Structure 1
Amino acid sequence: MPNTKRFPLALAHTAATLYYLQDATQAEIAERIGTSRATVSRLLQEARDRGLVRIEVLPLPAEDPDDLAGRLRTALGLQQVALCPATGAAHVAEAVSPVVAATLAGVGLEPGDVLLVSSGRTVYEIAQRELPGLPGVLVAPMVGGQDEPEAWYQTNEITRRIAAGVGGTPKFLYAPAFPGRRLRRSLVEDQEFQRFAKLWSDARCALMGIGAPPLQRQSIPGFVPTDEEPLAGAVGDVASRFYDEQGTEVAYEGADRLIAIPLEVLRAVPVRIAVAYGDLKVPSIVAGARGGHFTHLVTDPATASGLLSSLEEQ
């Protein structure tokens, strides 16, 4: 007789939600719910069999991807826009990673060059996938560490992973992102920190995610005072530096304590690759380009179309 045993519907629903909506891997789901990867695979199959998941085959894009990328590059005033293949929203992270790798490989980084990386879920996901060989490149974080449970806020760990992926050398920042004033004064006066900060000025390339509007995000560092009025006008951030619709940095109480690359220093980095996608980030991307915070954009066709529509409405 066939095996008719079924898992609890709620457990199959949890696994499907984590996998299809939150981009969790099967290994991450197994660890979170305390089971094996094989069981997670069966849970996902059961979710599909019991109608909890609908798989959609997308039509071919109506617009040529190269033409779409070219139009968006011109509209945003960027050096390059690179698009991943069209895919479902839950799997864009997987689709953009090879495009990011190709973009990094095309920069021409040499041993001793500095590559800066931001924190955030997008860069964290990229750090776990295949990256181009960049032997001898120095990899450094753009922002201090954050006392948060989510792995994508651990900047030194992201730095370590990317350095291992490219065959480079990690340069760690041993400082919290948001120290008290006394500690911050000590840090900026410390010669070791000053040597590290010089990496920001000397960098040849930066790889960063773009944060969505802070009041609309599901995950945000705890030090960010989302109840403060100035942040109501923020539409995005890079390296925890929040900016408004014009790309101008938004000041808020305590922002001067932040240990992160200043935006004016970031804008001096020759190649600045932003990776961002999703409807929620459309205004964040537009404003970031307007502020000159990045020169290259990696995204998906759906977001690219949304960006062009938004720009045409302005």
Structure 2
Amino acid sequence: MQIGAGGSTEDLRLALRAATLYYLDGLTQAEIAARLGVSRPTAGRLIARAKAKGLVRIEVVVPPTLQDSLHADEERELEAKFGLTEVVVAGHGMDIGAPGRPAVYASVGRAAAALLMRRLSADDVLGFTWGPEQVAVATALAPGIASCRTVVQMDGAMSTASYQTGMELILSRSADVLRANAIRLPAPLYADPSTVASISSDSVISRTLEAGRRADTMLFGVGAASTSTTLFEGSFLDGRILDELVALGAVGEIGGRFFDAHGTPVVTELARRSVSVPLEDVRACAKTILVASGAAKHVATLAALRGRLAKMLVCDIDCARWLLESK
């Protein structure tokens, strides 16, 4: 049977009947074809015609009791605005000035862990930077759901201050839950250029950095170019360096490497002192997941998205709405 080009009453009656059987009764196209006495391709065309003629309306409804937990509209709008593969929006973020401890990131941590476990492949090398969001993600990983080949540290974490970066927890728990090998980067985040050149020639460190640069999946947070950043709190940076970075247009950092409002690396002496995966390699990675929460990180998150430094985003609803309102 051929569907008439003119859209006769009989054609539309059949299209309406096919759509009813498909959308309301749940029949397959093969079952519809048998019921209506047409071929399977014709059944498919009838269903498509019903939709094209406006005979079918499909509505996705969020139950009222879950409207504070599910944010499908914001997720789709952010994906379209920034060209992202996937966005997951969780609960509310913390206020500016609130302590940046992993517990306050539990909501985005659970959401990011679920996304990560869906996106990981068994042969993947997974790269992490350190920070409270990543600790929350590692804590939320569930055993037995996903696995990967290797978990690698993407930035140095050794500090002279009594500051816990959380990298050991991230690496050990992720490797355990994901049944992966763990590769540590036994180096500081920053050192003088000659020291960086020396430690980069070390076989263990160079192999670790190379593994991080070539990671199949990368998960990271962003830091602000301000005293609210964990780098300042952990005494990795001082006020003079921050002032210089801000004067050059820096608004945020990933793995200790700063970028401007367009996500372009800010090149200073600090870049030559960094022991971490360069932003160019982050941008080139096919599966990058940015986890962001808290108003202090809104500007840095926007810049990272503008610079295509993330393919996927997990953020709180306050951050999502701010990003959608941004120019």
Distance 1:219 1:258, change over 3 A: closer
How many Å separate the matches in 1 of 2:68 and 2:139? 32
How many Å separate the matches in 2 of 1:195 and 1:259? 13
SS in 2 for 1:175: coil
Matched, 1:127 2:138: yes
Kept in 2: contact 1:275–1:298 (CA 8 A): yes
Q: Quote the residue 2:175 is aligned against.
A: 163
Matched, 1:83 2:89: yes
Q: Quote the residue 2:286 is aligned against.
A: 270
What does the per-residue CA deviation read over 1:235-285, in whole Å, with 9 as the maximum and x for residues that have no partner?
111111111111111233343021000111111211000100122211111
Aligned length: 251
SS in 2 for 1:195: helix
**Which segments of structure 1 move beyond 6 Å, counting only runs of 4 or more?**
87-91
Amino acid at match of 2:81: A
Amino acid at match of 2:236: F
Kept in 2: contact 1:139–1:169 (CA 8 A): yes
Kept in 2: contact 1:235–1:283 (CA 8 A): yes
Q: Quote the residue 1:224 is aligned against.
A: 237
Q: Report which stretch shifted further, 139-148 or 156-165.
A: 156-165
Matched, 1:300 2:322: no
Aligned partner of 2:125 among 91, 104, 114: 114
Q: Quote the residue 1:69 is aligned against.
A: 75
Q: Quote the residue 1:30 is aligned against.
A: none
Aligned partner of 1:256 among 269, 272, 275: 272
SS in 2 for 1:75: helix
How many Å separate the matches in 2 of 1:213 and 1:60? 36
Q: How much does 1:123 deviate?
A: 0.8
Q: Quote the residue 2:112 is aligned against.
A: 100
How many Å separate the matches in 2 of 1:88 and 1:173? 30
Normalised by the size of structure 2, how large is the TM-score?
A: 0.69
- Pairwise mapping of residues 104-253 of structure 1 onto structure 2 (< 5 A)? 104-111=116-123, 113-131=124-142, 133-147=145-159, 148-151=161-164, 153-217=165-229, 220=232, 221-228=234-241, 229-232=243-246, 233-253=249-269
Amino acid at match of 1:73: E
SS in 2 for 1:203: coil
Q: How much does 1:61 deviate?
A: 4.9
How many Å separate the matches in 2 of 1:92 and 1:216? 15
Kept in 2: contact 1:211–1:281 (CA 8 A): yes
SS in 1 for 2:140: coil
Quote the sequence identity (%).
Answer: 27
Distance 1:215 1:234, change over 3 A: farther
Q: Report which stretch shifted further, 181-190 or 118-127.
A: 181-190
Kept in 2: contact 1:213–1:281 (CA 8 A): no
Normalised by the size of structure 1, how large is the TM-score?
A: 0.72
Q: Could you say which structure has the larger radius of gyration?
A: 2
Kept in 2: contact 1:144–1:155 (CA 8 A): no
What does the per-residue CA deviation read over 1:151-174, in whole Å, with 9 as the maximum and x for residues that have no partner?
2x2534422222123222211111
Structure 2, unpaired ranges of 5+:
1-64
How many Å separate the matches in 1 of 2:209 and 2:130? 17
What does the per-residue CA deviation read over 1:279-309, in whole Å, with 9 as the maximum and x for residues that have no partner?
2211111100111111100012222112112
